[in-house]
Structure 1
Amino acid sequence: MTTNDSYSEFFATVLSPAQSAGAGLTAFIVLPKAASEKLPRRGRVSVDGSINGQPFVATLEPDGQLSHWLALSERLLAGAGANIGSEARLHIAALKQEPEPEVPADLQQALAASAEASAVWHDTTTIARLDWIHWITSAKQAKTRAKRINDACNMLAEGKRRVCCFDPSGFYSKAFSAPKAADDTL
């Protein structure tokens, strides 16, 4: 189920990343600011939508510019009849309730080792858990990720329900951005 006040309809160019920005990323679109502004948050947000009439449910990523971007799988592109460089028609609306995020295995293991951290983790909101996971998975190095998992468990064990000092939009910290588009798709 979606929220009607977050509904947007727009056209966007299907872009190809200049370099691999993640496992399986072959194409993406950047939302117009007007569409992004209707969404409930500047960080990760799950939407129900369609591209050229092909339905999907996905999590939009923050682009660090107070907007969002959407990864497009080859399967979704094929179903939508969209190609790199083409204009696609999108309809999106935020889900009324954010789905429970998938907890990475290393974080699951750390939480299982701390009853106090696990108890607070399970007592937080889905959005708070999404932000904790986003903070941890946004680490660029394995060493940083391991430190963030340790810090998260310590903060949770102390009763902290939200990750502090984390800008989930990337706007103030410039931690997030949409992939750079390949020159041939602009």
Structure 2
Amino acid sequence: MVEKEASTFKTTLLRPENPGKDDSWAFLVLPKAVSDKLPRRGRTSVQGTLNGHAFQATLEPDGQLSHWLKVSKKLQKAAAASPGDVVAVQIAPADPEPEPQLPDDLQDALAAAADAKSTWEGTTTIARLDWIHWVESAKQAKTRQRRVENACEMLASGKKRVCCFDPSGYYSKSLSAPKAKD
């Protein structure tokens, strides 16, 4: 990957303290100076290399105006990297921003609401990414359900951007990088 906007850095690959059911993934946190070069503080898609192995991924906001990257077992294996290793990373913003994967519950709700779906299709990829992020950032199933319903109502009324949502997590402290296992 050779791009003028690419950033290169080294960092330690970390094992999450609470990986959930799938304990094969690892993560890394971008240095703030690298994150500052990205186009936004919220979810941002990048292309890059990890120890020279190419990947494309969506960075998550860490709540500190930076980002973190979930590194799958497949990417770890391809890059010959394990948690605890110092890895070489090169990243640049994906151009164009890829279309985000629509969660099933939101997809079903939009399919049942023609006006909401019409507005959805008229929004930008970044706006759709923010809507999805807002829905997925709910911590409880009940809150997520309410957000899906509210999203459809707001979209049906012509609203193209989700309001009152800090996609960086900085002001609400609702988003953060995983805690690393000691």
Q: Tell me which interval the TM-score lies in, with the shorter structure as reference length.
A: over 0.9
Report % sequence identity: 59
Question: CA, structure 1 residues 93+22, in 2 after alignment: closer, same or farther (shift >3 Å)?
Answer: farther
Q: Tell me, which stretches of 5 or more residues in structure 1 are unaligned?
A: none
Distance 1:49 1:34 in 2: 17
TM norm structure 2: 0.96
- Deviation string 1:37-89 (CA, Å, 9 cap, x unpaired) is 00000000111100111110010000000000001111111111112111000
Which amino acid is 1:91 matched to?
Q
- Deviation string 1:115-140 (CA, Å, 9 cap, x unpaired) is 11111000000000000000001111
Contact 1:36 1:67 (8 Å CA) reproduced: yes
2:179 equivalent in structure 1: 180
1:171 equivalent in structure 2: 170
TM superposition shift of 1:26:
2.0
Higher helix share: 1
**Equivalent residues in 2 for 1:137-176 (5 A)?**
137-176=136-175
**Equivalent residues in 2 for 1:5-84 (5 A)?**
5=5, 7-20=6-19, 23=22, 26-84=25-83
2:106 equivalent in structure 1: 107
TM norm structure 1: 0.94
TM superposition shift of 1:2:
8.9
Distance 2:65 2:91 in 1: 17
Distance 1:21 1:130 in 2: 24
1:134 equivalent in structure 2: 133
Question: CA, structure 1 residues 22+32, in 2 after alignment: closer, same or farther (shift >3 Å)?
Answer: farther
Distance 2:161 2:2 in 1: 25
Alpha-carbon RMSD across the aligned residues, in angstroms, is: 1.6
Distance 1:164 1:17 in 2: 31
Contact 1:24 1:73 (8 Å CA) reproduced: no
Distance 1:22 1:131 in 2: 26
Distance 1:25 1:156 in 2: 37
Contact 1:8 1:35 (8 Å CA) reproduced: yes
1:4 equivalent in structure 2: 4
Which amino acid is 1:17 matched to?
P
Q: How many pairs align? A: 182
Distance 1:2 1:47 in 2: 13
